[in-house]
Amino acid sequence: MESWDVLLYDTTLRDGTQGEQINFSAEEKLRIAQRLDEMGFHYIEGGWPGSNPKDVRFFELAKGVSFRNSRLAAFGSTRKPHTDAGLCHNIATLLEAQTPVVTIFGKTWDLHLSEILNVSLDENLAMIRDSVSYLKLKGKEVIFDAEHFFDGYKNNPEYARDVIDAALSAGADVVVLCDTNGGTLPHEIGAIIGEVSSSVSPHLLGIHAHNDCGLAVANSLAAVVGGVKMAHGTINGYGERCGNADLISLVANLQLKMNKKCLPESSIRQLTNFSHYVSDVANIPPLNSRPFVGRSAFAHKGGVHVNAISKNPAAYEHIAPVLIGNHQRVLVSDLSGKSNIEYKAKELGIDLSRHVSASRNIVKKIKVMEDQGYQFDAADGSLSVLMKKATGEFREPFVLESFQVINAKTGENPPVSQATIKIKVGGEVELTAAEGNGPVNALDNALRKALTKFYPQINEMHLVDFKVRILEGSEGTAAKVRVLLDSRDEHEIWSTVGVSTNIIEASWQALVDSIQYKLSKDRVNKNGGE
């Protein structure tokens, strides 16, 4: 069996689901568990059996799955006060899950015993000892979560130690020190673990950190530096209140920064993909600024930065993004210099070498347009069209003669939009009309209808998103608006932008750019170059 420096315990399926807007079906939980197993996470906490029908169903489904790399854990509480462990419903439901591992939590902070549960300190210790020893008799690997450990230790260190001793003396395999309120600082974590380790081997300890101070990953790393063997967390940091330690960032830091082996190398290269997978199942958009795996994690906007990374990426990147399955991006905006333009042109397949002043002219154009409200770091499609126009390599596929959009509403019936458009392609004029469920949709339908005769490949593309933002509210309804459109075909997704005081005009600009990008791209692919 391979030796690991840190054992990873995932609680996405239990603690993670306590976060707002996080809700997995039993089947979705099983799919995530199987992916966690494929990635090589050592422990997967499936839920609290008996607390709800969904978790009961999950554990029933899991009985039919063979986990190759992970050990499945059922989570629950110690026995109830003044109750025999063998007769306690809480313990019985944990055993019914038939998992090789059982994780139970017990109170460490005396405040909870005196003011919340009204249980004596001695009875709490008995609850821990009885529950752990009974589960060990049943052949389970037992992990004990010492809830509110750090707050309890600060308030009454002697009793917090008694809790650890009670669990270990009863046979607990690991005692996990929990920063349940997420209010402990990294230097406090390190100091307290150092004190505890004077009498308990840190290899018998774990860390479970919440993110209420934004320090869950830092606190977990501090605990590992202190020698703990097990680290708890959730994928993408999902969890109650501000979430848990993000296992994605934690693993990347442990393995790539601290040389602590915790997952196979092949899994480290899948971290970005896996983070996005869990986001998709949770129906939560991936956070662009998420460390290591976010879309913006290795995105460069400032001209000085781009100039530097074109010579040596290490100048502004703390690791090579490919190590965790991410990639470098260069953004273009009013902060850009020639380096950004030249890098981006190469990325978009545009040759600027034949145009001596093209880079400088494009920079000037972008700065002026961004001052007017355009946003090119979010609209690669419009940027590509602008660059090709600046180099003289762009051929207009059509010319607008006129368009008209009419919105009509009768009584309680839904409004109807109709667009009429007249364009010229070469020497031929095309006049057509179409309806839509809104003015932009009608305009899009009419434009496509007019162009399909000349460019049938337009049928391959469609709009997938439409965003409108008011740029300056001081003008009221006459304020400028920015429209961002996302379009796709079978090969890629691209974004385009339009800006105007008229939402229809801004939408038209973005629509035209989207179609021009598609047709220009297809010409390059067909002809091998403009």
Q: For residue 37, which amino acid is it?
A: D
Q: Tokens representing 461?
A: 């593309």
Give the architecture (CATH level 2) of 399-527. 2-Layer Sandwich (3.30)
205-209 and 230-233 strand pairing: parallel
Beta bridge partners of 107: 147
Third-level CATH fold of 7-282? TIM Barrel (3.20.20)
What is the rounded average pLDDT of the residues 289-305?
90
Contact 306, 352 (CB under 8 A): no
pLDDT band of residue 121 (cuts 50, 70, 90) is: very high
User: Which phi and psi angles does 491 have, rounded to 5°?
Assistant: -105, -35
Spatial strand order of the sheet with 428-436 comes to 399-408, 416-425, 428-436
pLDDT at 378 > cutoff 50: yes
pLDDT at 76 > cutoff 80: yes
Could you give the percent of the chain with pLDDT greater than 70? 95
pLDDT, position 334: 63
Q: Is 69 left (phi over 0), alpha (psi -120 to 50) or beta?
A: alpha
- Domain regions of the chain by residue span: 7-282, 299-371, 399-527
**pTM for this model (two decimals):** 0.78
pLDDT, position 528: 39
pLDDT at 475 > cutoff 60: no
Which residues, including other chains, have CB under 8 Å from residue 508's CB and lie 6 or more apart?
403, 443, 498
pLDDT band of residue 474 (cuts 50, 70, 90) is: low
pLDDT, position 358: 79
pLDDT, position 201: 95
What is the spatial distance between Cα 102 and Cα 450, in angstroms, rounded to a whole number?
A: 65
Which residues, including other chains, have CB under 8 Å from residue 31's CB and lie 6 or more apart?
281
What is the spatial distance between Cα 337 and Cα 367, in angstroms, rounded to a whole number?
A: 10
Q: Which residue has the higher pLDDT, 437 or 96?
A: 96
Q: For residue 259, which amino acid is it?
A: N
What is the spatial distance between Cα 26 and Cα 312, in angstroms, rounded to a whole number?
A: 47
Look over the chain and give the mean of its residue pLDDT values, rounded to a whole number.
91
pLDDT at 53 > cutoff 70: yes
Could you give the percent of the chain with pLDDT greater than 90? 68
201-226 pLDDT, tens per residue? 999 999 999 999 999 999 999 999 99
pLDDT band of residue 336 (cuts 50, 70, 90) is: low
What is the spatial distance between Cα 73 and Cα 15, in angstroms, rounded to a whole number?
A: 13
Q: Which residue has the higher pLDDT, 394 or 59?
A: 59
pLDDT, position 416: 87
Contact 102, 122 (CB under 8 A): no
CA distances from 255 to 154, 189, 261 (A): 31, 21, 5
Q: Is 199 left (phi over 0), alpha (psi -120 to 50) or beta?
A: alpha
